[in-house]
Amino acid sequence: MTAASGGPQTARPTRLPRSARRKQLLAAAQQIFVAQGYHAAAMDDIAERAGVSKPVLYQHFPGKLELYLALLDTHCDAIIAKVRSAMMATTDNKERVKGAVQAYFDFVDHESEAFRLVFESDLRNDPQVRQRVERVEQGCIEAVTDTIIVDTNLSTDQAQLLAAGLVGTSGQSAQYWLANGRRTPKAEAETLVAALIWRGIASFPLQDGTSGGTPAEIG
């Protein structure tokens, strides 16, 4: 029996450009990975969340690991870019420190909770995942190191050590703040951490021989 003209029609899935479909799949995967972790997440769940068939999902990503790594790359690049942007946004070193701290607090406080993929991955033992997580720390340290070298008379090794301290303090403080229920208002927490870092780093002399902040004797 032929359906009458103008009767109900079965809706076809919307065809999206490849880049738009990839973005949609990554967004769905992120929700599943954040909620369930890598090991508990299933490609079926991701396809269902995205509203596509599994074959469509596999057209873009050959497996769950490739999908996870694509997400990691996106968010690792984002936090490195935020820290580098903070370094380049001003020549005021105190503001640079504030910007770097804020970059970490913004990252962990984002509603997507994407930071969990980077800092709390349950797949750290995989070499490809570990490489990307380590790249975040190293990329942020390099961004800060470059600025310290330009502004001070410190050697590369010394600048890297200071940069590691800034990055480590910012990241750990932001994660602690979130894990403990945001008990200190975000802006106040950022100011406190930035002040702690600045009081140390400001004591190092600039290239022109002046201090970066409050003078202090370095023993």
The average pLDDT across 82-91 equals 92
The average pLDDT across 5-27 equals 70
Strand partners for 152? 206
Look at residues 101, 100, 76 and name the one whose alpha carbon lies nearest to residue 87.
100
pLDDT of 67 higher than 90: yes
Percent above pLDDT 90 for the chain:
62
- Position 24 scores a pLDDT of 93
SS3 string of 107-156?
HHHCCCCCHHHHHCCCCCCCHHHHHHHHHHHHHHHHHHHHHHHHHECCCH
pLDDT tens by residue, 167-206: 999 999 999 999 999 999 999 999 999 999 988 777 666 6
Structure tokens at 31: 């929700």
pLDDT of 4 higher than 50: no
Strand partners for 211? 205
- Phi and psi at residue 205, in whole multiples of 5°? -70, 145
| CA–CA dist 33, 39 (Å, integer) | 9
Confidence of residue 208 (pLDDT cuts 50, 70, 90): low
Confidence of residue 120 (pLDDT cuts 50, 70, 90): confident
pLDDT tens by residue, 18-54: 888 999 999 999 999 999 989 999 999 999 999 999 9
Q: Which residues are within 8 A (CB) of 43 and not within 5 positions of it... i.e. 6 or more apart?
A: 54, 57, 58, 63, 64, 67
- Position 98 scores a pLDDT of 94
Confidence of residue 154 (pLDDT cuts 50, 70, 90): confident
pTM: 0.79
Arithmetic mean of pLDDT over the chain: 85
- Position 210 scores a pLDDT of 52
